[in-house]
Amino acid sequence: MGVSGLTTFIEQNRSDNILKDYILQKTNLIIDGNSVMCFLYRQWHDSSMEEASHFECFGGNYDVFGKIICDFFELLAQCNIIPYVVFDGGYEHKKLEKIVSKRKVQETYASTLNPVSEKKEKTTFLFGLFMFQVFNDIITEKGIKSETCFFEGDIRIANIAKEKNCPILSYDSDYYIYANLYIPFKSIHIKFKNLSSRLDFGLQTCISCKCYKQEYFLEQFHGLQVKSLPILAVLAGNDFINHYEVKCFCQENFKFNPKNKIESIINWLKSKNSKDALREIFYYFSGNEEICNKIEAVIKIYNLPDSKNLNDSQPLSNTGASTSAINIITEELENNINFDSNNIHPEFLQKLKRGQYPRSFMNIIVHNKYFHLVQVENYYGEHSHKISFSILSAIHKLLTNRETPMTYIGPIDENVPLCNITLPIYEEINALDKSTKQKYILNILAIDNIFFDCLIRFSETWHVFLLTVKYYLKKKSNNWPLIYSLIMCKLVLSYVDKKVGFFRSKSLFEQFKFISDEQETEFSKSNKIQSALQNITKNDSFQCLKSLIVYFEVDEKTKTNPAAFNRDVAHSISEFQSCLLHICDLNTLFDFTFCKLNVRECLNCTFIYNLTTNYKDLSSYVKLLENSPIILHCFNLIVDTLKNSTVGTVQEITSRKRGREKNEEKLEIKRVKISN
């Protein structure tokens, strides 16, 4: 949500008086999860760090995004700030039209996006498909309390802040209307270190920022009442009521300047008390029941009830949804949409509440719709999510078991075909054993159970990634250059980074003084993939990153020449991301029967794009990794295993290699002289 034009009005006119200096430390802090993660992704991840330079058109650098999130929460801990994160859930019915409209704007933006155009001043942004998953994974790992609301989270955030008497961190103009301490995220002052891509907070024990209070606002507009602030939101417009629906009232009842609508509305409200203002508005729209209902709903949203259900016995946590919370959502569903709330299983609500499920699941259950996630792609063919329709169909059946097809709200609205596979109903999933759950997933992906013989050669952390590669290759059998890049990216993010450190800039990497803690010796060249990966050394990793570091950045030709951007490669990356996202969602529904994928150790799409456009065959990787023989050996082993699994049965392949795996050959690694 947001009050149209209010943030711009405050920032451009009286920000020094309405937003005052504030020292953030030793306090609870309620974080608007959706707003803050978008701001982190859009602003800091995009432009604040030279070495983290990010381009939306490639798809998402989740390793860099994850690093920034970790650093941000480390800073909060250092300042003795206890964060509580609240996320939005499914879309409210009355907001669907506006949400679809925003998606159309994003689609238009994405259709011509390239590295040149996206660095121009803009108001539209694309967010990576895994933005929420990366953010949520990190706060879970750090033990930060969080919850996902069933629908809009603003009221919940404002209520918790009221109960705990602490500020809200967001970038949402609705909080100018609520009676809370509000810190606009944009006002936080933090610098970045250059060398290691970490926040430059040193021994910092507090954060300088700007804080908003209602009294600061009212002091600037003498005569304006607190109770008139929700009316300001009504007449300016927000996500529930469009300004154009009430513009006629403004034009006919007071001196209205469309170019400065906020000030015009404030001046009118100053001359009246809130009751008189509302009486005039309702009288004007007395013949339009729909508008009157919207106005009443908006006023109700901003007038918080007493927080009697938010006491210490019901803390914000990751442990599940309370009975009262489930009763609240039952009432909300019945009041806002034509839906039988008995169709939502209590266990589903609990898992959604603690952040295990994505918001798309709620939209599927409540609206029977799936909303297109915009990516950069070729628009002359099938959209990038079409490749995942069979997975979406299965998810729809598992969640609802409906016989009515789900509507895909995308570039062209279409029905997702019904799933014809025999699947358990939602309530039965929890009772299934691990093996049965995994077989259901393979059946949905149309992957033969024999692929298990391929999976067991890898650690469990690889399994979802490998399933996605297998599924993708069944749809796009000729796109091995992308698969090579994906494998190389996972090797670097999962293994090389852990040996050498986190670097994403050639200039900064060259400043790094590498000190080897290993002596030249003979290493086992194992044909067992897990053993081979464990044999990766620091020296080998350094040489690997030295060869590859340049591909984390965008070359000058691509940054300056729109024609140099390969939209076909970007489209293929978008398709793979769609496959990976929906297989992750499917795995979530089956209670992570395969090990949960750590996306930030898997995908840097700038790196993947650069490798895919520059290296098309295996021989080029041999040359690229000539100074990193151990990593090259691992790369070849993984590629061979995957290729063999596509041309024959994995069982035959593994039995053919078993004799060789018993004997590990020795490989003498010739050390390359280290130079900086």
Q: What is the CATH number of the domain that holds 104?
A: 3.40.50.1010
Domain boundary among 202, 220, 238: 220
How far is it, in rounded angstroms, from Cα 94 to Cα 3? 16
Summarised one tens digit per residue, pLDDT across range 635-651 is: 999 999 999 887 543 33
Summarised one tens digit per residue, pLDDT across range 354-372 is: 999 999 999 999 999 999 9
Q: How many distinct structural domains can be found in the chain?
A: 2
How far is it, in rounded angstroms, from Cα 623 to Cα 487? 16
pLDDT tier at 255, thresholds 50, 70, 90: confident
The pLDDT of residue 304: 65
238 inside domain: no
How far is it, in rounded angstroms, from Cα 52 to Cα 82? 27
**Higher-pLDDT residue of 83, 242:** 83
Please give the span between the terminal C-alpha atoms of the chain, in angstroms, as a whole number: 51
Q: Which residues of 277-291 are buried (b: 16+ CB within 10 A; e: fewer)?
A: bbeebeebbeeeeeb
| 658 contacts: CB under 8 Å, gap ≥ 6 | none
Are 568 and 377 in contact by the 8 Å Cβ rule? The answer is: no
The pLDDT of residue 49: 47
Averaged pLDDT for residues 87-94: 91
Averaged pLDDT for residues 627-632: 94
Averaged pLDDT for residues 650-666: 37
**Crossing angle of the two packed helices 261-270 and 243-253, in degrees rounded to 10:** 50
3-state secondary structure 271-328: CCCHHHHHHHHHHHCCCCHHHHHHHHHHHHHHCCCCCCCCCCCCCCCCCCCCHHHHHH
Which residue has tokens 């011509």?
Answer: 112
191 inside domain: yes
Q: Give me the long-range contacts of 629-633 (CB less than 8 A, separation at least 24).
A: 629/540, 629/667, 629/669, 630/523, 630/525, 630/532, 630/535, 630/536, 630/537, 630/540, 630/669, 631/491, 631/495, 631/496, 631/536, 631/540, 631/541, 631/544, 633/525, 633/532, 633/667
Which of 1-15, 285-299, 570-584 is least confident?
1-15
Residue 578 DSSP symbol: H
**Distances in whole angstroms, Cα of residue 420 to Cα of each of 390, 443, 605:** 10, 11, 34
Give the H/E segment covering residue 458. Answer: none
Q: Residue 653: is its pLDDT beyond 70?
A: no
**Higher-pLDDT residue of 674, 396:** 396
Could you give the count of Cα atoms lying within 13 Å of 384 in the half-sphere of its Cβ? 28
How far is it, in rounded angstroms, from Cα 184 to Cα 172? 8
Summarised one tens digit per residue, pLDDT across range 433-484 is: 999 999 999 999 999 989 999 999 999 999 999 999 999 999 998 899 999 9
The most distant pair of C-alpha atoms in the chain lies apart, rounded to whole Å, by: 90
Q: Residue 73: is its pLDDT beyond 60?
A: yes
The pLDDT of residue 511: 82
Quote the distance between the C-alpha of residue 17 and its chain's center.
35
pLDDT tier at 514, thresholds 50, 70, 90: confident
434 inside domain: no
How far is it, in rounded angstroms, from Cα 571 to Cα 587? 24
Q: Retrieve residue 415's tokens.
A: 């029905």
The pLDDT of residue 446: 96
332 inside domain: no
- The burial class, CB within 10 Å (0-12 / 13-18 / 19+), for 378 is middle
pTM: 0.87
123: helix, strand or coil = coil
How far is it, in rounded angstroms, from Cα 577 to Cα 388? 10
The pLDDT of residue 657: 38
How far is it, in rounded angstroms, from Cα 106 to Cα 124? 7
- The burial class, CB within 10 Å (0-12 / 13-18 / 19+), for 548 is buried
Domain boundary among 164, 186, 220: 220
Domain boundary among 175, 195, 220: 220
Sign of CA dihedral 458, 442, 416, 424: negative
Average pLDDT, the chain: 85
302 inside domain: no
Summarised one tens digit per residue, pLDDT across range 116-141 is: 888 776 678 889 999 999 999 999 99
Nearest CA to 412 out of 368, 381, 388 is that of 381
CA dihedral 423, 426, 430, 431 (to 10 degrees): -60
The alpha helices in 424-475, defined as continuous H runs, are: 426-429, 434-444, 452-455, 463-475
Q: Retrieve residue 387's tokens.
A: 């490749």
The pLDDT of residue 120: 73
**Cα Rg of the chain (Å, integer):** 27
Which of 305-314, 343-352, 454-463 is least confident?
305-314
Q: What angle do CA 358, 359, 361 make, to 5 degrees?
A: 80
Q: What percent of the chain stands above pLDDT 70?
A: 84
Write the single-letter amino acid at 581: L
Q: What percent of the chain stands above pLDDT 90?
A: 64
372 inside domain: no
Summarised one tens digit per residue, pLDDT across range 319-338 is: 344 444 444 444 444 455 55
Nearest CA to 7 out of 123, 140, 92 is that of 123
Are 415 and 605 in contact by the 8 Å Cβ rule? The answer is: no
**Distances in whole angstroms, Cα of residue 373 to Cα of each of 82, 239, 385, 408, 409:** 32, 20, 8, 10, 9
CA dihedral 86, 87, 93, 97 (to 10 degrees): 130
Q: Residue 632: is its pLDDT beyond 50?
A: yes
| 105 contacts: CB under 8 Å, gap ≥ 6 | 124
Report, in this order, helix, strand and coil percent for the chain, each rounded to 5. 55, 10, 35
637 inside domain: yes
Which of 192-206, 561-575, 602-616 is least confident?
192-206
25: helix, strand or coil = coil
CA dihedral 445, 448, 449, 450 (to 10 degrees): -140
Would you say how long the chain is, in residues?
676
340 inside domain: no
Full residue range of the structural domain in which residue 23 is found: 6-220
How far is it, in rounded angstroms, from Cα 451 to Cα 448? 6
The pLDDT of residue 2: 84
Q: Residue 201: is its pLDDT beyond 60?
A: no
The pLDDT of residue 94: 80
Q: Residue 660: is its pLDDT beyond 60?
A: no
Averaged pLDDT for residues 304-317: 43
Q: Residue 1: is its pLDDT beyond 90?
A: no
